[in-house]
Amino acid sequence: MKVHGKCHCGQITYSAEVDPEKVSICHCADCQMLTGSAYRVSVPASKESFVLHSGVPKSYVKIADSGNKRNHAFCSNCGTPVYSCAVTDPQAFSLRVGCLEERKQLPPKRQIWCDSAVSWSMSLGDVTKVARQ
């Protein structure tokens, strides 16, 4: 599936090919902190399919508990997290689904790091819903 993404202010734009069956939610504590939310939703895109059309993302290198380093790219103007990838010679880009125009067509297929999940994030069906505010 061809996807088109951008940061909130539009400074960074990109496109890629993704497999909708690989959309995932990550509940790890690092993803909670890096998104400012309860979890991160992402989908991988191969190095060959990812095309950065405009802007130059700023990056932050996160060191995992395992010692692995991961580059987290974001817009230096609006702060939108755009993707993450290996620090050296990335073979794939983990695109943030919220930045993709096609996000409504990319429901998550799996959840990882569920041991770290905040309990309320696993069941939102009974939370009051308001169409607009």
pLDDT in tens, 97-112: 999 999 999 999 999 9
> What's residue 115's pLDDT?
93
- Higher pLDDT pick, 73 / 122: 73
Better-scored residue on pLDDT, 47 or 120:
47
Q: What are the structure tokens assigned to 36, written together?
A: 């400012």
Query: Which one, of 94, 97, 108, lies nearest residue 6 by Cα?
Result: 97
The pLDDT of residue 88:
87
pLDDT tier, 26 (very low <50, low <70, confident <90, very high otherwise)? very high
Residue 47 in this model has a pLDDT that exceeds 90: yes
φ and ψ at residue 119, rounded to 5 degrees: -55, -40
Query: Residue 44: which of 12, 80, 20, 10 has the closest Cα?
Result: 20
Cβ pair 19, 102 in contact under 8 A:
no
Could you tell me the pTM of the whole model?
A: 0.90
Domains of the chain: 2-119 (2.170.150.70)
